Amino acid sequence: MNLDEVQLKKVSEWINQGLRLSDIQGRIASELGLKLTYMDVRLLVDDLKLTPKDLEPPKPVSSTLETPTAGPKPSAAGKTPPTEAAGPKPDSSVSVQIDQIARPGSVVSGKVTFSDGNRAEWYFDQMGRLGLIPQTPGYRPPASDLREFQSLLDNELSKMGF
């Protein structure tokens, strides 16, 4: 793994551009004609005393997702206040929340509230299968809610790097 000064400068430039180590590994192979393992590239970057930059800093989970709430509290008259009074109406009728700590036996888990107000817990197991555990036994959400749930879930998980 002997690189000359020009090659070392190129690697430094790539790090400063924000390239990931795997991208640098590919460029070393294609542009410099050297085949290095990922670990070799990591050690090279460490030897140069460089730190790879994140293109976009990771966002905390709580800022991108809804926080679980206990639900509206009954007023003095014993009636539940309308949900619109609590804040602006969300864009969709289905809401998805991701647990900070996944339920045992799952990779990631959370909760979902469907358009009709029914709630369920969801999880992805280690085989990548999606499971849904409704609070009401035997409940089946409408097909349109399931599509919306899967779309929202996909968006939220991609924000987290899944």
pLDDT in tens, 87-125: 334 456 899 999 999 999 899 999 999 999 999 999 999
DSSP the chain: ----HHHHHHHHHHHHTT--HHHHHHHHHHHH-----HHHHHHHHHHTT--PPPSSPPPPHHHHSPPP---PPP-TTSPPPPGGGGSPPPSSS-EEEE-SSPPTTEEEEEEEE-TTS-EEEEEEETTS-EEEEESSTT----HHHHHHHHHHHHHHHHHTT-
Average pLDDT, the chain: 77
Domain segments of the chain as ranges = 5-47, 61-71+91-159
pLDDT at 19: 79
